[in-house]
Amino acid sequence: MVWDIIYKHSPWLASKREELPEFKRDIVSVIQDKLKEKKIFILYGPRQTGKTIALKQYAQESDIPIVYVLADDPKVRSDPEVFVKIVEEIITEFENVYLIIDEAHKHPSWAEQIKTIFDLGFKEGIAISGSSAYELIIGTSESLVGRSYLRLLLPMSFRECLRGLGVNVYDISKSLYSAFMDSIRSSDPSILMNELLRAERKLSKYSEKIGWLLNFISRFGSFPEVFFSRNKSISEAYRLLTTYIWLSIYKDAMRIAGARTPDKLEDLFYLISYYAGSEQSFYSLSKNLGVKVSTVEQYVNALKHAFLIFESRPYRKSPAKLVRGKRKFYPIDPGLRNSILKLSEEEIHRHAGFINELLTFQHVLRITHEIEKDPIPKTYYWKMEDAEIDIVFKIAGKLVAIESKGSDLKRAQRNFSKMSFYEHEPDVKIVVWRKRNVMIENDILVIPIHYFLLIQP
């Protein structure tokens, strides 16, 4: 029975290859490194970002036997000790073996079993994945503290998409990241600007593909299946994206929220998408939805834990003020927002300013998670009267403030000045825009969006 499950889910152990995509996301090499460190590696994030494929790609090519098990299989779910039984079998068969449990949160006792396996002496690599942050992280914090490495997998990064187009800019990307961190540590934006100018010369030969890619991800986002089906019509792409939304609501958010019908969750995601980037309160959302404030708060948390939305809170000196007050919510990917709102190409063009902000926000989540290791990255915004800073975050102990602008640098300068006066002087001030110019205005670094999206470890 146990070996039937193993061979069903891990055909490569019986010398049978599973047909998998050729393109490998960056996370595949991270999986390899962390399993070799023999930690419990927990991979989580939105549906359809390629978690299962990445795990199987590594498993199938590994020189160490990998046992992959899908926890959502009814035969697996029905056995309360299935993972312990699998480990008991494989350690007698293989001298060195790793274990991967996919969709782990679907099994009611996964965390307890993993702790038992670890305590019994299985010190080999274990990888766990799933699309519910709440269930995986809560399970981790209760049973596996100090033994695990958590990694959030978002839709494809700009440099991954470029590699999918045959353009490898990893050396440039890492040099930009190194200069970015040096600028933050020293509060000197000229370090990054000089590296950006060097990168500009190297990237000029790819300008056509970079421009095409920026337009594509602004319309359809960067989920792998959408990106690699890029010849689809706008209606076909939207159909695929709305399927992702439907699956996330029906299979994850409903379970987390304990909702009996998905209608209000869908309506809530629509409202958040429509007003994305603007301040929203639970009270105003409850009025629009016709449900209690407590229910809205519960549903918002469900959408967050299902990775359909991320939250940004107001930045304040006072911790009490930081916790209270309105929030901003962002869909995790511009394609999801465009599809749920059914935006035409002309409407997407009119929304270019906000899409610029959303892409910047998504990339800030990616950077801060990789550096700070927070399970759910924290971002803020600052607003007072007629001044606002779109994105505020802390990294390496320093405060970074980012404005997403079309062209109005004077307004950005005024906003940064007001934030410095009322709150804190940011260590680094950045404007991300759609123009191609790189410059420093006073102490503000101005970066084209496609360069900012390439800053990555």
Q: Are residues 119 and 241 in the same domain?
A: no
Q: Are residues 282 and 429 in the same domain?
A: yes
Q: Cβ distance 31 to 41 under 8 Å?
A: yes
In a domain, 214, yes or no: yes
Residue 337 CA: distances (Å) to CA of 62, 382, 400: 38, 23, 26
In a domain, 363, yes or no: yes
Q: Are residues 413 and 395 in the same domain?
A: yes
Q: Cβ distance 100 to 67 under 8 Å?
A: yes
Q: What is the pLDDT of residues 214-245, one digit of tens each?
A: 999 999 999 999 999 988 899 999 999 999 99
Q: How many helices (H) and strands (E) does the chain have?
A: 23, 14
- What is the total count of domains within the chain? 2
In a domain, 181, yes or no: yes
In a domain, 457, yes or no: no
Q: Which of 122, 152, 182 is the last residue of a domain?
A: 152
Q: Cβ distance 348 to 355 under 8 Å?
A: yes
Q: Are residues 336 and 406 in the same domain?
A: yes
Confidence at residue 374, expressed as pLDDT on a 0 to 100 scale: 86
Q: Cβ distance 98 to 131 under 8 Å?
A: no
User: Please, which pLDDT band fits residue 262 given cuts at 50, 70 and 90?
Assistant: confident
Confidence at residue 323, expressed as pLDDT on a 0 to 100 scale: 53
Q: Are residues 248 and 360 in the same domain?
A: yes
Task: Check whether 373 has a pLDDT greater than 70.
Answer: yes
Q: Are residues 271 and 390 in the same domain?
A: yes
Place of tokens 């890029």: 230
**CA angle 261-264-265, nearest 5°?**
90
Beginning with the edge strand found earlier in the chain, give each strand of the sheet holding 379-384 in spatial order: 279-280, 327-331, 309-314, 379-384, 387-395, 398-405, 428-433, 444-448, 439-441
Q: Are residues 219 and 195 in the same domain?
A: yes
pTM of the prediction? Answer: 0.93
Task: Check whether 148 has a pLDDT greater than 90.
Answer: no
Q: Cβ distance 10 to 76 under 8 Å?
A: no
Q: Are residues 133 and 234 in the same domain?
A: no
Percent of the chain with pLDDT over 90: 69
Q: Are residues 286 and 329 in the same domain?
A: yes
Q: Which of 123, 152, 181 is the last residue of a domain?
A: 152
In a domain, 111, yes or no: yes
Confidence at residue 145, expressed as pLDDT on a 0 to 100 scale: 62
The residue with greater pLDDT, 28 or 141, is 28
Q: Are residues 117 and 137 in the same domain?
A: yes
Q: Quick check: helix, strand or coil at residue 255?
A: helix
Q: The domain containing residue 43 runs over which residues? A: 2-152
Which CATH number belongs to the domain containing residue 122 in this structure? Answer: 3.40.50.300
In a domain, 180, yes or no: yes
Q: What is the pLDDT of residues 120-142, one digit of tens each?
A: 778 788 999 987 666 677 666 55
User: Please, which pLDDT band fits residue 143 given cuts at 50, 70 and 90?
Assistant: low
Q: How many CB atoms lie within 10 A of CB 3?
A: 13
User: Please, which pLDDT band fits residue 146 given cuts at 50, 70 and 90?
Assistant: low
Q: Are residues 135 and 222 in the same domain?
A: no
In a domain, 343, yes or no: yes
Q: Are residues 11 and 36 in the same domain?
A: yes
Confidence at residue 318, expressed as pLDDT on a 0 to 100 scale: 64
In a domain, 114, yes or no: yes
Task: Check whether 320 has a pLDDT greater than 60.
Answer: no
Q: Which of 114, 132, 152 is the last residue of a domain?
A: 152
Mean pLDDT value of segment 270-280: 93
